[in-house]
């Protein structure tokens, strides 16, 4: 059975060990040692990574009561290796894990809320509480946990018989710990059973912050950050705030007001732009209709125009007793609408067929309205004009 150095000393970074076994598996080679500083996944904390000499340890797992190092290549039983932990990664995990104890204690102490779930990865740490918490309660608990950190209480780890523990102080006793569970005891703070690794004192987990609260089952799931993760998070926020402050030439406190002003002026600009676009469309429709002479079919060609504006143009044109063809482009694509005033004798379906033919497109519709689309060509306006000429010749021959 492997001697678990991390249980006594979570800050041990390396040890010389003897390989006691090596088996090939699906995810690499499962290597066991006579002793190890590598923590196997458990209690919500991921397994450690590092190296055994030059062999990478990709993960560490508990298997049949032993610690298994999943390695990228095999090692020979009997050989001595230098087992070196990725301690930066482990220390980050210990900060999150210890912070989880401190937050859980704060919610339990202040609001009787019970931690019913803990999830920790390299990117994310969450804890689940059995009841909902409002933002004010969460702020209170976070402040409480950080205060415990400022007081920098030592964290002791020992084994004890469950019945010897003071029930008033113990937040949780896990059944997995057996007769003499491993106890993690924060002086004047959290006491619970846990198999994981923790920092030496509450101050080493600081700062502690909660970034999200999402409804989860009957309670809430809190996303939290401790230590280096919290600092990195705030640095990111500070960078964003600083960049925004420069853009708006203001300090952070004024940013919400400045963004609101910007939203209002953008809405006003959009409204004004719509008015101008509508007035321009009216003028363009009037120009087309005024220049139609004896034609009963009119054409509007609109470059880089949204479909909605093209439809508006169609409706403006067929207020007069004509048939209208509106062809518009957007990037590489082209669309068209054909519409007819009730007094117009034009057949929009036929117009659509002719357009589809000459533009190599697809479309369909009824006598009074049809639409379609095609790929844009360099001469799309000429092609559309030729169709409208044919329709006008047909109309005048009737
Ligand atoms: Zn723990």
Pairing of strands 208-216, 219-226: antiparallel
Q: How far is the CA of 80 from the centre of ligand 1 (A)?
A: 31
Q: How far is the CA of 381 from the centre of ligand 1 (A)?
A: 73
pLDDT in the model for residue 384? 97
Q: How far is the CA of 22 from the centre of ligand 1 (A)?
A: 30
Q: How far is the CA of 275 from the centre of ligand 1 (A)?
A: 64
Q: What domains are defined for the chain?
A: 3-85 (2.40.30.130), 91-235 (3.30.980.10), 273-397 (3.10.310.40)
Angle at 184 between CA 181 and CA 189, to 5 degrees: 135
Residue 381: name the closest of 302, 313, 304, 323 by CA.
302
What does the alpha-carbon distance between residue 47 and residue 342 come to, in Å, rounded to a whole number? 76
User: What pTM does this model have?
Assistant: 0.78
Q: How far is the CA of 182 from the centre of ligand 1 (A)?
A: 10
Q: How far is the CA of 110 from the centre of ligand 1 (A)?
A: 20
**Helix intervals (H) in the chain:** 5-8, 87-111, 135-150, 227-248, 255-290, 307-317, 348-359, 380-397
> For the segment 212-246, what is each residue's pLDDT rounded down to a tens digit?
999 999 999 999 999 999 999 999 999 999 999 99
Q: How far is the CA of 152 from the centre of ligand 1 (A)?
A: 17
Q: How far is the CA of 170 from the centre of ligand 1 (A)?
A: 13
Q: How far is the CA of 166 from the centre of ligand 1 (A)?
A: 18
Q: Is the peptide bond before 178 cis (omega within 30 degrees of 0)?
A: no
For 125, the token pair is 């740490």
Q: How far is the CA of 79 from the centre of ligand 1 (A)?
A: 33
pLDDT in tens, the chain (398 residues): 899 999 999 999 999 999 999 999 888 999 999 999 999 999 899 999 999 999 999 999 999 989 999 999 999 999 999 999 999 999 999 999 999 999 999 999 999 999 999 999 999 999 999 999 999 999 999 999 999 999 999 999 999 998 898 888 999 888 787 888 999 999 999 999 999 999 999 999 999 999 999 999 999 999 999 999 999 999 999 999 999 999 999 999 999 999 999 999 999 999 999 999 999 999 999 999 999 999 999 999 999 999 999 999 999 999 999 999 999 999 999 999 999 999 988 899 999 999 999 999 999 999 999 999 999 999 999 999 999 999 999 998 87
pLDDT in the model for residue 262? 95
Q: How far is the CA of 213 from the centre of ligand 1 (A)?
A: 22
Q: How far is the CA of 226 from the centre of ligand 1 (A)?
A: 14
Asked if residue 176 lies in contact with residue 123, where contact means CB atoms within 8 angstroms, the answer is no
Angle at 291 between CA 287 and CA 297, to 5 degrees: 100
For 371, the token pair is 């639409």
Bridge partners (DSSP) of residue 226 are 208
Q: Indicate the helix (H) or strand (E) that contains 331.
A: none
Q: How far is the CA of 104 from the centre of ligand 1 (A)?
A: 11
What is the DSSP-derived secondary structure letter of residue 154? Answer: B
Through-space distance between the first and last CA atoms of the chain, rounded to whole angstroms:
102
Q: How far is the CA of 189 from the centre of ligand 1 (A)?
A: 13
pLDDT in the model for residue 37? 98
Q: How far is the CA of 43 from the centre of ligand 1 (A)?
A: 7
Asked if residue 198 lies in contact with residue 95, where contact means CB atoms within 8 angstroms, the answer is no
Q: How far is the CA of 208 from the centre of ligand 1 (A)?
A: 16
For 374, the token pair is 């095609």
């Amino acid at each position: 059975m492997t001697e678990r150095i991390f249980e006594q000393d979570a800050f041990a970074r390396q040890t010389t060990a003897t390989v006691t076994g090596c088996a090939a598996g699906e995810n690499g080679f499962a290597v066991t040692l006579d002793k190890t500083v590598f923590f196997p996944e458990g209690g919500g904390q991921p397994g450690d990574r590092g190296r055994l000499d030059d062999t990478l340890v990709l993960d560490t797992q508990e298997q049949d009561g032993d610690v298994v190092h999943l390695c990228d290549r095999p090692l020979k039983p009997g050989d001595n290796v230098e087992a070196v932990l990725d301690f930066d990664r482990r220390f980050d995990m210990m900060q999150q894990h210890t912070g989880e104890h401190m937050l859980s204690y704060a919610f339990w102490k202040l609001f009787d809320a019970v931690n019913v779930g803990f999830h920790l990865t390299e990117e994310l740490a969450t804890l689940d509480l059995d009841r909902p918490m409002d933002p004010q309660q969460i702020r209170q608990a976070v402040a409480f946990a950080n205060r415990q950190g400022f007081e920098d209480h030592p964290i002791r780890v020992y084994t004890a018989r469950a019945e010897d523990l003071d029930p008033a102080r113990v937040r949780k006793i896990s059944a997995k710990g057996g007769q003499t569970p491993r106890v993690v005891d924060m002086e004047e703070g959290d006491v619970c059973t846990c198999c994981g690794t923790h920092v030496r004192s509450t101050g080493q987990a600081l700062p502690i912050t909660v970034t999200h609260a999402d409804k989860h089952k009957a309670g809430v799931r809190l996303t939290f950050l401790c230590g280096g993760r919290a600092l990195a998070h705030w640095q990111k926020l500070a960078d964003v705030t600083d960049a925004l402050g420069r853009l708006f030439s203001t300090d952070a406190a004024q940013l919400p007001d400045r963004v609101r002003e910007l939203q209002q002026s953008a809405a006003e600009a959009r409204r004004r732009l719509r008015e101008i676009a509508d007035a321009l469309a009216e003028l363009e429709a009037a120009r087309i209709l005024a220049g139609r002479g004896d034609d009963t079919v009119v054409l509007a060609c609109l470059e880089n125009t949204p479909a909605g504006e093209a439809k508006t143009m169609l409706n403006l044109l067929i207020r007069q007793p004509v048939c209208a063809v509106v062809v518009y482009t957007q990037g590489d694509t082209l669309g068209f609408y054909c519409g007819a005033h009730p007094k117009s004798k034009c057949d929009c379906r036929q117009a659509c067929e002719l357009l589809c033919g000459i533009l190599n497109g697809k479309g369909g519709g009824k006598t009074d309205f049809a639409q379609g689309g095609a790929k844009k060509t360099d001469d799309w306006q000429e092609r559309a004009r030729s169709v409208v000429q044919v329709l006008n010749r047909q109309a005048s021959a009737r």
